[in-house]
Structure 1
Amino acid sequence: MRADRIVIADDHPVFREGLRRLIQGTASNAEVIEADTFRDMIQLAREGPVPTTFIVDLMFGDRSVETSLSALRLEFCRTSIIVLSMVDDRTVAERILSKGVDGFISKTLSPREIVAAIAAVRNGDQVLLLEPTFSALSDRDDEPAALTRRQRDVLRLLTAGKTNKEIAQALQISPFTVRIHVSALLKTLGVSSRTAAAAKATAYGLA
């Protein structure tokens, strides 16, 4: 079995260190290495055991690493590649994934969601996550208003009896993203099952 070796490349030291600490909290047996440039990331990867995961920022200063991602995939064919970025454009994200990248995650998400998305990629999912799945309004009494737009989309399809896979296909998102949307909307609606969520959706006229 390969040693679990994660290389983080980001030119913002505070973000990079914070991410390293978060990952070490959930993958305590992994070796987590930091690099402040894309080139340093490659050099570190070549010096030791082949990394199991790359986590790389899309932009270093004013330079995008997009054109380097296909070569990175060719050289490290068994390594998960995750791009983190402040860019929240779906067209850009899908183009990045087409380079052989396994995950595209927005930096604007909460630490909990970033870590969950990274874990999903490392477990074999392809993840595209651009917007929060847990509403900042979840403590409000007005439950429907506390749902995000995407949660409402998921809820309507869930109420129609669609599976997570079918919801993912309909919304063009990953099954992992559907799972966390479902979890979030169950929490917001105060229910513990899909059936109960569907019943509430019908009662609120959301179905």
Structure 2
Amino acid sequence: MHTTQTAVTRVALVDDHKLFRKGLLELINGFSGYTVILEAENGRDFIRKLFPEKVPAIVLLDISMPVMDGFETAKWLQEHHPDIKILALSMSNDEETVLRMLKCGVDGYILKNADPSELRMALEALEVDGSYYSSSVSEILKRGLVSGTQLQTELTEREIEFLKLACTELPYKSFSPFLKVSPRVVESIRETLFKKLDVASRVGLVIYAIRNGIYKVE
């Protein structure tokens, strides 16, 4: 039993398989500190049910859905509710799907056959660290992206330095002394890179940096 309402993290489930969704609902509601406040069978259904008083902190988002899939839904959330954390749910861990979801702005990626304990870990990591990727997905990023391709976009030295910093644990506001610019210029560089590289989040910047050899994954 939850002692205070403020201690409860609100979760939404977006998945077209009702049996899987109901199982997930019972599982998450069984976790201390979490409650499912909204269920939807696709992105459009989710948007229709999303009211100002019913905004979740985390959305568990299936990728393959009819009407409006996970890619479209993640992009919509990134644009309209950037504070909501998105945990992608998928049976697939192929590089193309993972990268495409990362580019759409998801904060985490977990496979549907994961253990309940990993789901709990993923939810907690999203709140504490801001992101979570299953070990198999992390391996894909390490294995598949380091070789990469040549830089597709011409970047300035300062933009390359920004990308390297984006791959660290430092918050954006701490970039100023390293780049020798004001915080406002840091914001400007970030927004320019989002447009130049066609990415919607810090994760997108990191993936681009890894893919193009700007940052080496150890």
> Structure 2 matches for 1:70-109, cutoff 5 A?
70-109=75-114
2:87 maps to 1:67: no
- Greater length-normalized contact order (CA 8 Å, ≥ 6 residues apart): 2
Partners of 1:47 and 1:20 in 2: how far apart? Answer: 21
Q: CA deviation at 1:14?
A: 1.3
Count the aligned residue pairs: 137
1:15-41 CA deviation, whole Å, 9 max, x = no partner?
111111111111445343211222121
Hey, which bits of structure 1, 4+ residues long, moved more than 4 A? none
Q: Report the 3-state secondary structure (helix = DSSP H, G, I; strand = E; otherwise coil) of the residue aligned with 2:30.
A: helix
1:75-122 CA deviation, whole Å, 9 max, x = no partner?
111111111011111332132112211111111222222232222113
Q: Report the 3-state secondary structure (helix = DSSP H, G, I; strand = E; otherwise coil) of the residue aligned with 1:60.
A: coil
Which residue is 1:145 aligned to?
none
Q: TM-score, with normalisation over the residues of structure 2? A: 0.53
Q: Report the 3-state secondary structure (helix = DSSP H, G, I; strand = E; otherwise coil) of the residue aligned with 1:51.
A: coil
Partners of 2:103 and 2:127 in 1: how far apart? Answer: 18
Which residue is 2:55 aligned to?
50
RMSD value, Cα: 3.1
CA, structure 1 residues 71+62, in 2 after alignment: closer, same or farther (shift >3 Å)?
closer
Q: Which amino acid aligns with 1:69?
A: A
Which residue is 2:179 aligned to?
none
Q: TM-score, with normalisation over the residues of structure 1? A: 0.56
Q: Which amino acid aligns with 2:87?
A: I
| Unmatched segments (≥5 aa) in structure 2 | 1-5, 141-166, 168-218
Q: Report the 3-state secondary structure (helix = DSSP H, G, I; strand = E; otherwise coil) of the residue aligned with 1:34.
A: strand
Q: Which amino acid aligns with 1:53?
A: I
> Structure 2 matches for 1:16-35, cutoff 5 A?
16-28=21-33, 30-35=35-40
CA, structure 1 residues 32+123, in 2 after alignment: closer, same or farther (shift >3 Å)?
farther
Contact kept in structure 2, 1:7 and 1:34, CA below 8 Å: yes
Q: CA deviation at 1:125?
A: 3.2
Q: Which amino acid aligns with 1:60?
A: M
Contact kept in structure 2, 1:93 and 1:128, CA below 8 Å: no
Q: CA deviation at 1:51?
A: 1.6
